């Protein structure tokens, strides 16, 4: 996700030479590709370097080790932005300092192609300017939304952060069903991919509700109606998605500790 953000900023013409990436494995190909400075640890950053923004783009399980060294910037005007799922503002304040500006963000992987959506919220020390800068940076990789209630980031994570995996699983299932019905695997995969992508684009561009769009495709007594009856059944898609979102929400809260 960190590379997706950098790629989005690069594509939008943001001056990436002002970006410094801390990456233990260096990934020098990223440095060359995006014209950014990559260093193996925070200790390799110049003592005179005071970042305007620090973005934590690591797995939540790594945050206990990653966060504390950055408290060196707690007496500056740096704003700390975290995209680690489940790690709360309180957690970040405990590791960085009580008097620092902190923003939590939940992006999703379509940010890699500029089609993501990111939801952010912050503590009371985040200024209007810092909020604007954060949302502007997120807008480089898709849409961005500001949320006032931090506790809602858990269901946001379950719906949009984890959501692409559900969509890819739908593609897998469609393609597999097509193959089992006798279609050539390449054709089945292409049909699944283009159908899901096109339907998503139609939904974004249409003012109709999801239900209306579904009903527009479903002729009474037709083939789609037969399929939708199964999907809306007792053990169908609606209940499966409900349970999946509940499980992801619960896990997000568990990660908060």
Per residue in 71-106, pLDDT (tens digit) is 999 988 999 999 988 899 999 999 999 999 999 999
pLDDT tens readout for residues 196-238: 999 999 999 999 999 999 999 999 999 999 999 999 998 899 9
The secondary structure element, H or E, covering residue 38 is: strand 37-39
| Burial (CB count within 10 angstroms: exposed 0-12, middle 13-18, buried 19+), residue 86 | buried
pLDDT at 33 over 90: no
Superfamily holding 2-149: NAD(P)-binding Rossmann-like Domain (3.40.50.720)
The model's pTM: 0.86
| Cα-to-chain-centroid distance, residue 104 | 12
Strands 53-56, 20-22: pairing is: unpaired
- Percent of the chain at pLDDT > 90 equals 67
pLDDT for the residue 46: 73
Q: Please check whether residue 88 is in contact with residue 104, taking contact to mean a CB–CB distance below 8 angstroms.
A: yes
Give the pLDDT of residue 43: 86
Residue 42 to residue 53: CA distance in whole angstroms: 14
Dist. CA 26–CA 33, nearest whole Å: 13
| Structure tokens that stand for 165 in this block | 């995996």
pLDDT digits (tens, 9 = 90+) for 109-148: 898 888 999 999 999 999 999 999 999 989 888 999 999 9
Q: Do 145 and 119 contact (CB within 8 A), yes or no?
A: yes
What six digits make up the tokens of 149? Answer: 């209630």
Given this model, what pLDDT does residue 60 score? 87
Sign of CA dihedral 34, 43, 55, 83: positive
**Fold designation for 163-255:** ProC C-terminal domain-like fold (1.10.3730)
CB 2 within 8 A of CB 21: yes
Query: How many CA within 13 A on the CB side of residue 208?
Result: 14
| pLDDT over threshold 70, residue 27 | no
Q: What percent of the chain has pLDDT over 70?
A: 98
**What are the extents of the domains in the chain?**
2-149, 163-255
Q: What is the mean pLDDT of residues 155-179?
A: 96
- Rg over CA atoms, the chain: 21
255: closest CA among 143, 145, 91, 96? Answer: 91
pLDDT at 257: 65
Q: How far is CA 136 from its chain centroid?
A: 16
* Predicted pLDDT at 26: 63
Question: What pLDDT shows up at residue 252?
Answer: 86
Per-residue buried b or exposed e for 39-65, using 16+ beta carbons within 10 Å of the residue's own CB = beeeeebeeeeebeebbbbbebeebee
């Amino acid at each position: 996700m960190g590379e997706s953000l950098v790629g989005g900023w690069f594509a939008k013409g943001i001056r990436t030479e002002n970006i410094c990436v801390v990456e233990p494995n260096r990934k020098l190909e990223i440095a060359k590709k995006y014209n950014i400075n990559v260093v193996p640890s925070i200790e390799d950053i110049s003592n005179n370097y005071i970042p305007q923004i620090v973005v934590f783009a690591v797995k939540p399980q790594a945050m206990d080790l990653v966060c504390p060294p950055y408290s060196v910037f707690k007496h500056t005007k740096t704003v700390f932005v975290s995209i680690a799922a489940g790690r709360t503002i309180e957690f970040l304040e405990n590791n960085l300092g009580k008097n620092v500006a902190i923003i939590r963000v939940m992006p999703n992987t379509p940010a890699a192609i500029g089609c993501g959506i990111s939801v952010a919220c912050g503590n009371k020390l985040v200024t209007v300017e810092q909020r604007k800068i954060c949302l502007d940076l997120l807008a480089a990789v898709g849409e961005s939304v500001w949320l006032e209630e931090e506790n809602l980031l858990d269901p946001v994570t379950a719906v949009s952060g984890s959501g692409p995996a559900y969509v890819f699983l739908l593609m897998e299932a469609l393609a597999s069903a097509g193959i089992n019905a006798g279609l050539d695997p390449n054709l089945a995969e292409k049909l699944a991919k283009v159908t899901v992508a096109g339907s998503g684009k139609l939904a974004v561009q249409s003012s109709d509700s999801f239900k209306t769009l579904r009903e527009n495709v479903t002729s009474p007594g037709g083939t789609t109606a037969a399929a939708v009856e199964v999907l809306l059944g007792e053990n169908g898609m609606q209940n499966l998605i409900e349970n999946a979102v509940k499980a992801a929400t619960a896990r997000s809260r568990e990660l908060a500790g």
